[in-house]
Amino acid sequence: MSQPNVTYALEDGVAVIALNRPEVMNALSTALRGELRAAIARAVGEARVLVLTGTGRAFCSGQDLADAQAAGAVDFERILNEEYVPMLKDITDCPLPTIAAVNGAAAGAGANLALGCDVVIATESASFIQAFTRIGLVPDAGGTHWLPRQIGLARAMGAMLFADKISARQAADWGMIYEAVPDDVFAAHWRARAAALAAGPGLAYRGIKQALRVSFAQDLDAQLALEARLQGECGGSADFREGVAAFLQKRAPKFSGR
């Protein structure tokens, strides 16, 4: 029996989804993309936080070119529209907080898969490479959307034109990712971060994700109106009542996510 392309584990409200093709640095095949979508749907139904990571020495090396060529001529437009776009939307539209725990190299579409998550935590030995021009392609998988918003146009342009390897520490300094963590504490650190989110106010997290995801496309008036609506929803929630009670009673809150 062949090994799954994606593994899934649930513990204390944290769903850990691991890309599981270590022999090819977790390259993205058609089968893997399908299994990843199924795992994300499962997490939405039973978890409070989703963590995406890789098995072995890499996070993800991007598109599996051998898999793409197996059916003959490579139709990247079809692959992107029919396979990548639904997968990426599953991640960006996920109602749960999402963490990319980048355990090693993240290249091409693999780098942009990580950048589509809400928070990226990388081990210091990891790296990010917009490797597309090395094989005559343009960046895809959302990279031209995320990267200029995260690090500015000048750095995004250079990273994509030159296909330079960007270390995790440099990525954190640039604002591309949230944290670069020493290798020896990486696993414990991202698990602690995920546990903290799993114990937090789920409705507020969903509001934060919604507001930030549209903030670049809205003017100030529209964003203020959205904030007011989301705050109204949170203000009537069980989590808000619990948070206020815990504050007044000088204890840690026990949020339900509602």
Classify domain 202-248 at the CATH topology level.
Lyase 2-enoyl-coa Hydratase; Chain  A, domain 2 (1.10.12)
- What are the Cα distances from residue 165, in Å, to 8, 18, 53, 62, 97? 30, 23, 20, 14, 28
Residue 1 has pLDDT above 70, yes or no: no
Q: What is the pLDDT of residue 67?
A: 79
Residues 6+ apart with CB under 8 A from 9: 15, 16, 18
Residues recorded for the chain: 258
Predicted confidence band at 75 (pLDDT cuts at 50, 70, 90)? Answer: confident
- What are the Cα distances from residue 225, in Å, to 201, 203, 215, 216, 222? 22, 18, 12, 15, 5
Q: What is the pLDDT of residue 96?
A: 97
Residue 71 has pLDDT above 80, yes or no: no
Q: Which CATH architecture has domain 6-198?
A: Alpha-Beta Complex (3.90)
Residue 170 has pLDDT above 90, yes or no: yes
Residues 6+ apart with CB under 8 A from 46: 10, 15
The phi and psi torsions of 153 (rounded to 5 degrees) equal -65, -45
Distance CA 159, CA 223 (A): 31
Q: What is the pLDDT of residue 2?
A: 78
Q: What is the pLDDT of residue 238?
A: 94
Strand, coil or helix: what is 144? helix
Cβ pair 159, 218 in contact under 8 A: no
CATH 1.10.12 boundaries in the chain: 202-248
CATH 3.90.226.10 boundaries in the chain: 6-198
Strand, coil or helix: what is 160? helix
**What is the pTM (predicted TM-score) of this model?**
0.94
Residue 27 has pLDDT above 90, yes or no: yes
Lowest mean pLDDT among 22-31, 47-56, 65-74, 182-191: 65-74
Record the tokens describing residue 245, joined without a space: 């009670």
What value does the mean pLDDT take over residues 32-38?
97
Residue 72 has pLDDT above 80, yes or no: no
Q: Which of 255, 191, 210 is nearest to 15 (CA)?
A: 191
